[in-house]
């Protein structure tokens, strides 16, 4: 059960409306996605829509209205339908939605096309997802145009704005309840990663480890995985988004697992890399500990006021130095960084926002284009990696085929940071002990 209640959603709507002088906001639910022919993927609500009202059904709309005198919230939902209840499950319907959600009005979604013009009348600003091409948003645009062209209508929509930027800026700072949901997701993800370490053995397939992790997720009540799991043995780890998970795990190889679950739609995002046979080789340990040292240094630097751009630059300096120390790169660090030589082995960013989306689409820069400073309540992943392809003959043979990433979820606090996933083992000694347990 979600820790969020109607007060949380109402306060979020009030905060959003407080950023407007006046206008109408329209948010649409996610559309069901076809998997093949007439089958669909499990439904997942649009994160911005869910953030503002907590309603999980498809074919629904949230409309917020603000004038100088008042504001109100309107929910459009599918009515209860016995045939739909028989085949796909029961919907709340208009009456029960009005009882369950702290909105001012609830209407049948099929009346939206009749009511939207009246809702837009006398307003000068419309706030929508400008890239949403759903029929509901197109209908709003059409109604705004018709009002603009109607004689005698003195006040009409003069401008359309992107509401997603306002919502996603608000989503940057997580509440205590949101952090608790993320922690729950991480707790289950920890169990799954530890399970994978404990059962890994030679001759298993990557998908077998994935299946055991999925069992941990689903048997503990998670609704979904946060993203498609990566279980990459050996050289597969050097393909950053290797999701086939079909190969056999071999003696002497590492396996990189990037997999995590959601809890009440809030994501976790964890990567661990460990030896298939439970024991790091000397070369594997050397690379692993360099990556871990970089991650620990980056995490230690996170606190309010630090800019994410600086953190990225710092991480590249540390990773470049690690590659020099390992003998994989040679030369002056400054010159190597200017030439982006380190990018061959450390190609991706140091981390990303995380929340209702595993890659939370919150802004990284302010309205002037300057990198945002960390503030208490932000959650970001930290995931340095070094990837050395098996066919890279410029590197010592002992390092070829090694791909390592270590990823944790970090909360910025008032005084520094909290590693929300610190319970998941990651030192060489801890991992080898977990593999033997």
How many C-beta neighbours within 10 Å does residue 214 have? Answer: 17
**How long a stretch of residues is the chain?**
437
Among candidate residues 269, 316, 357, 432, the one labeled active-site is 269
> Does the active-site annotation cover 262?
no
Among candidate residues 48, 208, 258, 264, the one labeled active-site is 258
Residue 66 belongs to what H/E stretch?
strand 61-66
Among candidate residues 348, 366, 397, 430, the one labeled active-site is 348
How many C-beta neighbours within 10 Å does residue 230 have? Answer: 22
Q: How far is CA 123 from the centre of its chain?
A: 34
Among candidate residues 9, 107, 288, 387, the one labeled active-site is 387
> Does the active-site annotation cover 407?
yes
Among candidate residues 178, 225, 262, 407, the one labeled active-site is 407
> Does the active-site annotation cover 359?
yes
Q: Which residues contact 109 (CB under 8 A, 6 or more apart)?
A: 59, 60, 61, 76, 77, 78, 79
> Does the active-site annotation cover 151?
no
Among candidate residues 241, 282, 367, 414, the one labeled active-site is 241
Distance CA 80, CA 107 (A): 12
Strands 39-40 and 34-36: antiparallel
CB–CB of 291/428 below 8 Å? no
Strands 271-275 and 230-233: unpaired
> Does the active-site annotation cover 251?
no
The 8-class DSSP code of residue 79 comes to: P
The residues facing 27 across adjacent strands are 62
CB–CB of 280/432 below 8 Å? yes
> Does the active-site annotation cover 227?
no
What is the three-class DSSP state of 2?
Answer: coil
Distance CA 132, CA 332 (A): 48
Among candidate residues 316, 383, 408, 432, the one labeled active-site is 383
Among candidate residues 121, 359, 389, 400, the one labeled active-site is 359
Angle between helix axes 308-326 and 282-300 (nearest 10 degrees) is 160
> Does the active-site annotation cover 269?
yes
Calculate the dihedral angle through the C-alpha atoms of 112, 118, 121, 124, rounding to the nearest 10 degrees. Answer: -20
Which of 175, 189, 126, 159 shows the shortest CA–CA distance to 12? 175
Distance CA 324, CA 131 (A): 45
Distance CA 417, CA 410 (A): 7
Q: Just list the catalytic residues.
A: 38, 241, 258, 269, 348, 352, 359, 383, 387, 405, 407
């Amino acid at each position: 059960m979600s820790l969020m209640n109607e007060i949380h959603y109402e306060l979020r709507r009030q905060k959003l409306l407080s950023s407007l002088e006046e206008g109408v906001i329209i948010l649409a639910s996610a559309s069901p996605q076809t998997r093949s022919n007439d089958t669909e993927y499990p439904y997942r609500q649009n994160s911005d829509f869910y953030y503002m009202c907590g309603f999980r059904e498809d074919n629904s709309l949230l409309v917020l209205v603000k004038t100088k005198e008042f504001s109100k919230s309107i929910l459009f939902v599918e009515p209860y339908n016995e045939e739909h209840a028989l085949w796909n499950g029961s919907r709340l319907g208009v009456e029960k939605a009005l009882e369950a959600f702290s909105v001012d009005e609830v209407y049948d979604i099929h009346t939206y096309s009749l009511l939207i013009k009246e809702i837009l009348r006398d307003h000068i600003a419309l706030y929508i997802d400008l890239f949403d091409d759903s029929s509901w948003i197109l209908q709003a645009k059409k109604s705004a145009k018709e009002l603009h062209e109607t004689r005698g209508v003195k006040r009409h929509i003069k401008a359309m704005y992107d509401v997603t930027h306002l919502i996603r800026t608000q989503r940057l700072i997580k509440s205590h309840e949101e952090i608790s949901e993320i922690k729950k997701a991480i707790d289950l993800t920890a169990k799954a990663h530890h399970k994978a370490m404990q059962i890994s053995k030679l001759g298993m397939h990557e998908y077998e480890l994935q299946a055991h992790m999925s069992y941990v997720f689903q048997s503990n009540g998670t609704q979904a995985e946060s993203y498609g799991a990566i279980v990459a043995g050996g050289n597969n780890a050097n393909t950053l988004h290797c999701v086939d998970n079909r190969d056999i795990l071999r003696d002497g190889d590492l396996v990189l697992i990037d997999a995590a679950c959601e809890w009440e739609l809030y994501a976790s995002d964890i990567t661990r890399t460990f030896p298939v046979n439970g024991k790091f080789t000397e070369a594997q340990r050397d690379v692993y500990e360099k990556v871990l040292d970089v991650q620990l240094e980056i995490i230690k630097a996170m606190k309010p006021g630090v800019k994410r751009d600086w953190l990225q630059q710092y991480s590249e300096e540390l990773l470049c130095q690690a590659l020099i120390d390992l003998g994989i790169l040679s030369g002056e660090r400054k010159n190597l960084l200017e030439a982006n030589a380190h990018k061959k082995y450390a190609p991706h960013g140091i981390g990303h926002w995380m929340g209702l989306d595993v890659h939370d689409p919150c802004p990284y820069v302010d309205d002037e284009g300057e990198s945002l400073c960390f503030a208490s309540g932000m959650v970001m992943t930290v995931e340095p990696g070094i990837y050395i392809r098996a066919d890279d003959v410029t590197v010592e043979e002992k390092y070829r085929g090694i791909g390592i990433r270590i990823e944790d979820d970090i909360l910025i606090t008032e005084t520094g940071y909290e590693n929300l996933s610190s319970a998941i083992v990651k030192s060489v000694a801890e991992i080898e002990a977990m593999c033997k347990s």
